[in-house]
Structure 1
C-alpha cells in the first residue's frame, strides 16, 4: 500500500524528479540519461511494451513493487509511468529510462513462486475480511446473538441498505432495540463503513449499553463521564475514544456539549430519544422552544453521517412535539403534522419503523411473547407506621417545599426521592433521615467557621446538585433519570434552607423523626413485609417453594434491598442481589448465580435496567415507580423474548397512603381498559396517560405537596377519566397507526437461507485462526472440552501500533475459554467462554499482524503451485478483491460494495469460481511445482479486464440503481416538504406585506424576517437536493490482484486417494443430479439446483417443503454420481465442513450406475452417522467408504428422518 501523504508534504518521487533536474550534466550522464544517447537504437515503443503489466520495484519512487499499466514518453529521456499498487490503488510518477530499464532487468520474467501455504493464508485473510459480501446477515453470524425475524428485517431491509441513515426505530418495549442497534453498528464496522460511534442514553442505561455491546458484539465502548472530562490531558475524550457512550443529561451540560459538538461521528445512536423534546411557541412570531436534550441531539445529528433514534414511545399525544421529534432527522422534511402523517404512513418510507409486541413472531410463526398476568397486592400501614408517614410528609413539605429560581429543580427532586424512600420501607426512610441529619449537621459546623461572604455563597449553593455530579438540575430530568449516586446526593446535600437558622431547625426536626422511626421499628415487623410473606404463600409461588421457579423482587432503594435480603434468608430462601453499587462484572456474576443457584433475586431500579432474566417468570414490585413507564420496563426484564412460562407480576400498594391510593386507582383503571386496548395495557401506558393529559408522576407529587381532600378527589377523578379511545384516535390522526408494520416472514426466511448457506463457517474461521496463530507464534491449546485456551497474548498483538487495536479494542492478556461456535458458547457450562469471530479484537489483531508479515515476505500478488485431485489438465486461478464506490453527502468517496472473487482460466477460457476455491486444492510438492506453468503479467491483465467487465461492472450498475431509487424517493419527500414550507412562508409574507402596505409598520420586521426565511429555504433546498444527487453516484473502484494459483493435476492419478477425489464425467454427474431432483419431487419436496452458483456452500441442492403448521423444512443435499455400481466417494473440505455444520439437515445422495441403472443411496447427517471416514493426506479431501454408505443409507419406510 502506498505511504500516506502527510499534510503539506510533497510526494517523494516528485522531490526526486525535481532534484534530478538540478544535477550537473556530468552527474546526469552517470545515470545514463543524456537525451539523444538514451533512446538511440531503442524505440520508445519497445520500452513501453516490455514494461506493460510487469510487476517491478521502482526504487526511490515506491516502497513496494507496483504493476506498470502505461508508459508514456514526456521528453528528455523521461517517462510518465502509471502504475497500480498491490491494494489496487492507481498512482503515477516520472522516471528516467535508465531507471525503468534497470527495474525491468531486475524483475523476474514471471512472478516468483511463493509458499502455497502463505498464499492460502493471505487470500483467506482477505476472503474473511470481505465475507459480508456473501453473507447477507454477516453481523448475526459473527456475533453472539440469535437474530429474530423482526430484528433481521429492521436492520437488513430498512436500515443497512441506506447510504445515509436517518431513522427512528419505534418498536414496542422488549423487541430488542439494543440488539438491532448493535447489529447495525457491527455490520457497518465489519464493512469498514464506520469507525467513530457515539451512543447517548439515560444515565442508568449507560452501563447496560456498554455490557451489551461487549458481550454480544465484541465492541469495547468507553463511558464518557465527568471524570474523563475533568481530567483530560490535552485531548478531548470525544476524540480519544472512537467508541463512546454517554448519559444524555451529562452530555447536554454547557461545559460538555460544546466540546462534544466539535467532534465528527460516523454513527450516532440515541436511546430513549423521545426525551429530547421541542415545541412551537405560537404568536406573532412563531419560534421553536428546545430543551437542552433536544438541542444536544440536534447538534450531534448535524455532526453525524448516520443517525438512529430509538424509542418505544415516539409520540406523547402532541402532534407538534411529534413533528419536532421527527425533525431531528431533517427539520425541513418533517416540518408540519400533515407532512409527518403522510410520509411515515407511506409503505416504503425510509425513516420510521414501528412494530407491536403482539405481532412479533419467530421464524416458525410462533408468538415471541407469552401471557402476562398483573395483580395488585394491597396492604395497609399500621397506626404507628401511618403516624410516621404523616410526620415525614409534613417535614418534606415544610423543609423541601416548592422553591423559586435555580434551586427549585434540585429541591423538587430531593423531595421526590425522600417521599419514595418513605414509601419503600421503614429501613430506607430511617437511613435517609439519619444520613441527612448527619450531613446537614456537619455542614452547619463548616458554615460556622466560614467568613460571612463565603457562608452566604455556600448557603446559596445548597439548592443545587453538587458541582462534581454528572447530573444537571435544569428541570428536564425526572427522578427516574437519576442513578443511585445522584439519589444519595439529593437526599444528603440539597436543601431549600437559605439561612443558618433554618438549617439548625431542620436538623432538629430530622433528629426527632429518627427517634420516631426507631420507636416504630421497635414495635416489630412492618405491615409491608408481612404482606410479602403472605404473598409468597399464594399458589402462584408453589414452583418457588419446590425449587422449580425463580422470583425477581424489585425495590427502589439499597436499604430496602438489604432489609429484604436478611428477612428472606431467615425464611429459608436462597437469595442474591443486583444493585447499582456493583461493577458490571459483579452484576453478571450475580445474574449467573441467580440462574444456577438462587431462588430469589432482589434488584434495585438502576440495576433493573441492565439485567435480562427470561429464565424467571415470577416478579414482585415491592416498590412501585411513580412513572408507570418504568413499570413496563421492569416487567420487560422477565416478560421478554425467550421466556417460556406465563409471567406473574404482583404490585404492592399501601391503600392508606396518598401515593398508594393513586397507584392502586391507576392500576384498577388500566385493568378495566384491558379489552379496549387489546391487552396492550402496559405497553402503551405512557402514551395513554399523556394523550389523556395526565402526567402521573406530577399528579402524585402535587397531591403529596397539598394533600387536601379536594386535591385527592381531583387526582382520582382525573385517573378515572382515562379514555382508551383517545389513543386510537391520536394514532390514526398522526399516521402512527398506518406506520405500524408487520414482519415479512417469507423475506426473512429467504435471507436466513442465504445467510446460513453462504456464511463464513466457524470451522473456516477457527482453522484460519489456528494456522495464523501458529505462523505468528501465538500459542493456542485445545482443552479437554474442545474449547481453546490462550495463556498469554504477546504484547505485539496488544499494541496500538496495530490499527485493529485502535478501532476494535485491545485483546485481553489471556483467554481461558475461547470458542468459535455460538452453540458452544450458549451451553450453560460455557457461559463464561468468549465467542471469537472476525470482529473480535484478538482475531482482528492476529489477522493484521499476519498480513503485515506476509506483505513483508512478498506474498501479495504472488503465484503458488497447487494440485487439484480432480483435474485432468493444468489451469490457473486468479484471486482478486474489487470495490464499488459511491459518494457521501459531502462528495467524498465511500465504499458501497466489495468482495473477493476467483477467476478461473482453463481450456474453456475465463469464468468465475468460488472465492474459497483454495480450500479444494492441495499445496504442490516441489516436484509437482516444477510442472506448474508460469503466471504471466498478460494472464493477470486478461483476468483483471474480464473481472472488470463481467463482474464489477454489473455489480456497479446494480448498486447504482438501488442508490438512485433511494435518492429519488428521498428527493420526492424533500421536494414536497419544502414546497409546503415555501407556500406557508409566502402566505405569511403576503399577510405581513399587506399590513405594512396599509400603514402598520409594526409588521415590517416580521415581513423582512419571513423574506429572509424564504431566501434561506431556497438555498437549503438547492444544497440538500445536490447532496441527495450524490447518493445516486456509483462507480467501479479499485481491483486488487491478491495472487494466483498455477494448478496442476496430481502426479499420481492412479493413487486410490487421488482417484476417489476425482470427479466423474459431466454426463455421470448430470445424471446423478437429475435422479436426486426427481426423487425429491416425488416425495413432495421442491428442489433447487445450486451447484452452478460456485459459491462454496458445500452442497448441490436445496430442497424445501412447507409443513401443515406453516413452518419450512429444508434439506441441503450433496450429490455424488458414480458410473460403477459400488465404490468409495470423496468429499472436499467445504462439503465436509458443511456436513458438520448442518448435521441432520445435511444429506449425502450417492447415485451408483448413474447413467445405466441408477441406484440412489441417501445418508442423513453423514458427519455424525458414517464411520471410517478418513482424511486424505495426498490431496485435500475426505474418503467416505462405499460400505459405510450402504450400511447407513436411509431406505424409505425403514428409517425415520431427523430434520432440523
Structure 2
C-alpha cells in the first residue's frame, strides 16, 4: 500500500516517524551526505527501537583513502572536523544521545566514497516493526531536523513486499560494498566530547584552575584540520608547560630527529607559556624559516605572531608596523632571524634590555665555540656571536628551549655548550656555580663519566659531589624524593646542603647502591634536559593504549644512488662546468673567507643548467648587486659566512675572462638538461605520477623552470609550484597563475595537484602525505635540508608503506665527487647521529675548491659511534588531550595573544 507525504500538508516527523519508529524493532536507512547533522533525526526518535539502526551515507572520501583502515579513519576524521560540529548551538543533549547509541552498538553508520556510486541523492529506509511486518519509504528528506521539519520535502511510503525487497536490496548493496567503512572511533569519541563541551570564556579563568594544555590544544586547527599531535609531541609540550609553571621555569634541548615535528612542539609550548605569563616570547630561527614559523603557528595553532623583517614588525595578517622599534612587538610572540645576531646587529642590545617569558632557538647547534678540538675542552669557550648572545639572554628569561636534531656536531663538548646556555641563572640544569658539572676543568671528565669512558671507584666520596649538585628532582627516583623530604628541600632547590659525612649510614649505603646501579648513565643532568626521540624507536615502540607503534612506519626506497645513475653532461655543458670550477678556485686564491661566495656558481649550476646560466649572466653583468642578494638569500651558519672583503667586491681580469668563457659555453649548447629529461622519464612511469610527486630544488629559478616545462610536457596535469613570498601558483600548459600557499596545499590534499615543485620554503612544516614520491633535482650542501625534504612525505597519514626518493646529480660534479668518496661514510654518520651534521657542509666547499684531502680529514674526525649512544631520554607515554571537553574560547585566546610587548 502506498502513502504519500508532503511537508506542505503535514508534519513529516509526526505523521511518519513518530508513528512508525515507536513500534519499530529495527531501522535501515539510506541517508544522504555525511555530516554532523545526518544523525539528528535518528537520534531523536529511536528510544523505543529494540534492535539495531543502520545508516549508510556518502562523503568526499577519496576512494584511495579506503585502501587501509588507518587512511580511511584519518580521512573521515578530517571531514568530520571540517564540518565544525562543535559550533552547533544547543547540541549537548542530542550529541549525548548519539554517543549513547553509537558507543552501545545500537546504531551503526557506514560511509561510502561518493565517487563509487556518486552522491546519494536517493533517500530511502526500511522499518521493521515489532510484529515482524515491514514498510519502506523513499523521498527527498535528509536525515536531519531541517529535512523533516523545515524544508519542503516529499516522501512516499510503500509497504508492499515488492517495494520492501527492492529498497532492502539497494540498502544491502551499499552497506556491504567493499568501500563502505564504519564511522571512525575518533568521531564517536568526539561526539561524546562535544556533548560535554564547556567553554572557558577568559584566559584568567583558565590560569586560575590548574591550566592544562589540552584546553588550549583540543580545538586548534592541528587537531580539527590535521590529525592532532603524536604522543611524543604531547609528552614534550606537557613536560615543558609543567616546568614553566614552576618558579625555575623550563630549560630543555629538544633534539628529536628531523621529521618528528619539532616546530609544532615548540610552537604549542610557546602558545601555552604566552597565555600563562605576562612577558614576551622571543623565537630565534634561521632567516629562511622565519615566515614558515609564522605561517605554521597561524595555520596549525591559530596563533598570532609578528616577524621582525630587519626594519619593522609584520604580523600574521601581513600588516607592517612602520616606525616601531624591535622592543615594540605588536604580538605576544615575536620571531627574529639568527642572522641579526650573527651580524651583530644594533638591535641585539635592545633585545637584551627586557625580560622574557621564554626564548626559543631553532637550529641551536649554530651556537658554537670557536676553540673546538682535542685538548681544547679545558679552556673557557671562545663563543661565536650566537653563543655569546644566548648566554646573555638566558639570564633574561624564565624558560628557554633550544632545538636541534644534532646537538653534537662533531665533539661531545658541543652538547655541554648548549647545556651551559640553559644553565645561566638556573641551578636546575647543571647546578650552582660550585657544581662539578659546571667547572671548565671538569667538563671532559663529566662527559667521560656519562659515556662510560671513565669510572669513579665505588667508595670514592667524589661520587656524592656529582649527585648533590644539581640534586635530581623527586619524580626521578624514590630515593631522591625521600631525601628531599627529609632535608626539607623545596622543589626549586637543586643543591643538597649536607656533605657526604653528614649523611646517615643508610643514606650513604643507598647512595652507593645508586652509583653501582648506573647513576651516571640514568640520572645525569644531560638525560634530564635533553629530550631526543628517534624515528626508529617510535616506529618500533608499542603504545599499550592502542596496541600499535607510536609512529607509523614508512620505509624509504632510494633511487639514483649507483655510480652509473649520475647524469652525463654533453661536451659544452661539461666545458661550462669546468670553467665554473676554475672560476671558484681563482676567486679563492685571493680570499680566504666567505667560502659560500667562492662556491656559489658551482652550487647554482649543480642545481640546474638554467640556474647556472642565470647566475653566470648576473655575475658577469651585475657582480656586486648579485653578491648582496646572495648574502640575503643564502642560509648562513656562522659569522664567518657574513664576511665579504673589499677584494671580492671586484672581479679580476682572470675571473672575468673565466666567466665569459663559462657563459659562452652555455650559449653554445642547445642540449636539454639531463635532470629535466630524467624527471620526465620518471613521471611517464605511472607509479611516480599516480602516487603523486614533490620535486625539490634549492633555488626558485630552477623550480619555476622545471614546473613551467613540465606543464607543457604534461598539458593534462596541473603543475603546482610552492615557494616563498608571492611566488607560489600553478602552471597549466606553460601559463602561470598565482595561487596562495593555502590554495596550493588544499589542491594537493584533494589530489587536484599530483606534481608539486617546491623550493626549500616547502621543506619545513608542509604536510604532503597525499604524495608518495619525491625527486631531489639538486642535493643541498647543507645535509639537514635533505632530511627536511623527506619529512614532507615520510609522515603520519602517508597512505604508502614505502615512499620513493630519487636523488639527482651530474656526473663529475661536486655532488657526484662527494657521493663517490663519502656516500658510505656519510651513511654511517647518519646512522650514528640520526642525520649528517651541518658542519659537514664544509666538506662540499673544500671539494669544490680542490681541497679533497682536507675534506677527507673532516669526515675522518667524526666519531665512529654516537658519544651518548642511546642514553638520551626516550620516555613516551599516552597523554589524553583528545577527550578534553573544556575549551578556551578562541576569540579570547587570540585577543590575549595579540597583546604587544
TM-score, normalised relative to structure 1: 0.44
Cα offset for 1:242?
3.1
Given that 1:170 and 1:314 are in contact with CA atoms closer than 8 Å, whether structure 2 keeps it comes out as yes
1:617 to 765, 772, 787: 772
Matched with 1:395 is: 583
Matched with 2:411 is: 318
Given that 1:424 and 1:557 are in contact with CA atoms closer than 8 Å, whether structure 2 keeps it comes out as yes
1:603 to 740, 743, 758: 758
1:144 to 212, 217, 221: 221
Task: Provide Cα deviations, 1:581-638, integer angstroms capped at 9, x if missing partner.
Answer: 4379822322223333112111112342342212212001110112222211111111
Task: Provide Cα deviations, 1:829-857, integer angstroms capped at 9, x if missing partner.
Answer: xxxxxxxxxxxxxxxxxxxxxxxxxxxxx
Matched with 1:439 is: 622
* Alpha-carbon distance between aligned partners in 2 of 1:251 and 1:464, rounded to the nearest angstrom: 21
Task: Provide Cα deviations, 1:88-118, integer angstroms capped at 9, x if missing partner.
Answer: xxxxxxxxxxxxxxxxxxxxxxxxxxxxxxx
* Alpha-carbon distance between aligned partners in 2 of 1:550 and 1:706, rounded to the nearest angstrom: 39
1:700 aligns with 2:844: yes
Residues 126 and 565 of structure 1: CA distance in aligned 2, closer, same or farther (over 3 Å):
closer
Residues 238 and 231 of structure 1: CA distance in aligned 2, closer, same or farther (over 3 Å):
closer
Q: 1:744-893 to 2 correspondence within 5 Å? A: 744=877, 748=878, 751-752=879-880, 755-760=881-886, 805=895, 807-808=897-898
Cα offset for 1:421?
0.7
1:154 aligns with 2:220: no
- Match of 1:553, SS? strand
Given that 1:653 and 1:663 are in contact with CA atoms closer than 8 Å, whether structure 2 keeps it comes out as no
Matched with 1:629 is: 784
1:384 to 566, 572, 576: 572
* Alpha-carbon distance between aligned partners in 2 of 1:188 and 1:583, rounded to the nearest angstrom: 34
* Alpha-carbon distance between aligned partners in 1 of 2:359 and 2:376, rounded to the nearest angstrom: 34
1:565 aligns with 2:658: no
Residues 599 and 285 of structure 1: CA distance in aligned 2, closer, same or farther (over 3 Å):
closer
Residues 359 and 138 of structure 1: CA distance in aligned 2, closer, same or farther (over 3 Å):
farther
Matched with 1:943 is: none
- Match of 1:181, SS? helix
Matched with 1:185 is: 270
- Unmatched tracts of structure 2, length 5 or more: 1-197, 223-227, 314-319, 425-429, 432-436, 451-518, 729-738
Given that 1:171 and 1:311 are in contact with CA atoms closer than 8 Å, whether structure 2 keeps it comes out as yes
Aligned CA RMSD, in angstroms, stands at 3.9
Matched with 1:1108 is: none
Given that 1:267 and 1:307 are in contact with CA atoms closer than 8 Å, whether structure 2 keeps it comes out as yes
Cα offset for 1:530?
2.4
1:421 aligns with 2:604: yes
Residues 344 and 175 of structure 1: CA distance in aligned 2, closer, same or farther (over 3 Å):
farther
Matched with 1:846 is: none
Residues 699 and 668 of structure 1: CA distance in aligned 2, closer, same or farther (over 3 Å):
same
* Alpha-carbon distance between aligned partners in 2 of 1:599 and 1:284, rounded to the nearest angstrom: 52
Matched with 2:748 is: 594
Matched with 2:875 is: 742
* Alpha-carbon distance between aligned partners in 1 of 2:235 and 2:366, rounded to the nearest angstrom: 26
* Alpha-carbon distance between aligned partners in 1 of 2:668 and 2:653, rounded to the nearest angstrom: 23
Matched with 2:53 is: none
Matched with 2:5 is: none
1:198 aligns with 2:282: yes
Matched with 1:298 is: 391
* Alpha-carbon distance between aligned partners in 2 of 1:495 and 1:567, rounded to the nearest angstrom: 40
Matched with 1:518 is: 667
* Alpha-carbon distance between aligned partners in 1 of 2:382 and 2:203, rounded to the nearest angstrom: 52
Cα offset for 1:312?
1.2
- Match of 1:403, SS? coil
Matched with 1:654 is: 810
1:532 to 667, 675, 679: 679
* Alpha-carbon distance between aligned partners in 2 of 1:570 and 1:587, rounded to the nearest angstrom: 22
Residues 604 and 402 of structure 1: CA distance in aligned 2, closer, same or farther (over 3 Å):
farther
Residues 562 and 471 of structure 1: CA distance in aligned 2, closer, same or farther (over 3 Å):
closer
Cα offset for 1:649?
0.6
Given that 2:724 and 2:761 are in contact with CA atoms closer than 8 Å, whether structure 1 keeps it comes out as yes
Residues 382 and 122 of structure 1: CA distance in aligned 2, closer, same or farther (over 3 Å):
closer
Q: 1:189-588 to 2 correspondence within 5 Å? A: 189-190=274-275, 192-228=276-312, 233=323, 235-238=325-328, 241-252=331-342, 253-278=344-369, 286-330=379-423, 333=431, 334-335=437-438, 336-339=443-446, 341=450, 345-346=522-523, 350-360=528-538, 364=546, 365-366=548-549, 367-375=551-559, 376=561, 377-399=565-587, 401-404=589-592, 408-409=593-594, 412-440=595-623, 465=628, 475-476=638-639, 496-497=647-648, 503=652, 506-507=655-656, 509-520=658-669, 522=670, 524-537=671-684, 541-545=685-689, 548-572=690-714, 573-582=717-726, 586-588=740-742
Given that 1:620 and 1:651 are in contact with CA atoms closer than 8 Å, whether structure 2 keeps it comes out as yes
* Alpha-carbon distance between aligned partners in 1 of 2:832 and 2:718, rounded to the nearest angstrom: 31
Cα offset for 1:561?
1.6
* Alpha-carbon distance between aligned partners in 2 of 1:575 and 1:516, rounded to the nearest angstrom: 31
* Alpha-carbon distance between aligned partners in 1 of 2:383 and 2:569, rounded to the nearest angstrom: 44
Q: 1:969-1118 to 2 correspondence within 5 Å? A: none
Task: Provide Cα deviations, 1:35-92, integer angstroms capped at 9, x if missing partner.
Answer: xxxxxxxxxxxxxxxxxxxxxxxxxxxxxxxxxxxxxxxxxxxxxxxxxxxxxxxxxx
* Alpha-carbon distance between aligned partners in 1 of 2:824 and 2:883, rounded to the nearest angstrom: 52
Given that 1:399 and 1:496 are in contact with CA atoms closer than 8 Å, whether structure 2 keeps it comes out as no
Cα offset for 1:419?
0.9
Task: Provide Cα deviations, 1:450-493, integer angstroms capped at 9, x if missing partner.
Answer: xxxxxxxxxxxx998589959898954769xxxxxxxxxx9xx9
Larger Rg over CA atoms: 1
Cα offset for 1:382?
1.8
Task: Provide Cα deviations, 1:531-574, integer angstroms capped at 9, x if missing partner.
Answer: 3333345xxx52444xx421011112222222212321222143
- The number of equivalent residue pairs is 577
- Match of 1:185, SS? helix
Residues 280 and 400 of structure 1: CA distance in aligned 2, closer, same or farther (over 3 Å):
closer
- Unmatched tracts of structure 1, length 5 or more: 1-120, 444-461, 480-489, 770-801, 811-1204
Given that 2:281 and 2:356 are in contact with CA atoms closer than 8 Å, whether structure 1 keeps it comes out as yes
Given that 1:225 and 1:250 are in contact with CA atoms closer than 8 Å, whether structure 2 keeps it comes out as no
Residues 504 and 206 of structure 1: CA distance in aligned 2, closer, same or farther (over 3 Å):
same
Q: Which has the higher contact order (CA 8 A, sep 6+)?
A: 2
* Alpha-carbon distance between aligned partners in 1 of 2:618 and 2:627, rounded to the nearest angstrom: 18
Cα offset for 1:226?
1.4
Residues 498 and 347 of structure 1: CA distance in aligned 2, closer, same or farther (over 3 Å):
closer
- Match of 2:667, SS? helix
* Alpha-carbon distance between aligned partners in 2 of 1:756 and 1:285, rounded to the nearest angstrom: 49
Given that 2:576 and 2:666 are in contact with CA atoms closer than 8 Å, whether structure 1 keeps it comes out as yes
Cα offset for 1:129?
4.0
Task: Provide Cα deviations, 1:1135-1176, integer angstroms capped at 9, x if missing partner.
Answer: xxxxxxxxxxxxxxxxxxxxxxxxxxxxxxxxxxxxxxxxxx
Cα offset for 1:738?
1.7
Residues 232 and 261 of structure 1: CA distance in aligned 2, closer, same or farther (over 3 Å):
farther
Matched with 1:447 is: none
Task: Provide Cα deviations, 1:759-813, integer angstroms capped at 9, x if missing partner.
Answer: 2269xx69xx9xxxxxxxxxxxxxxxxxxxxxxxxxxxxxxxx997464369xxx
Residues 356 and 549 of structure 1: CA distance in aligned 2, closer, same or farther (over 3 Å):
same
* Alpha-carbon distance between aligned partners in 2 of 1:582 and 1:344, rounded to the nearest angstrom: 50
* Alpha-carbon distance between aligned partners in 2 of 1:400 and 1:666, rounded to the nearest angstrom: 23
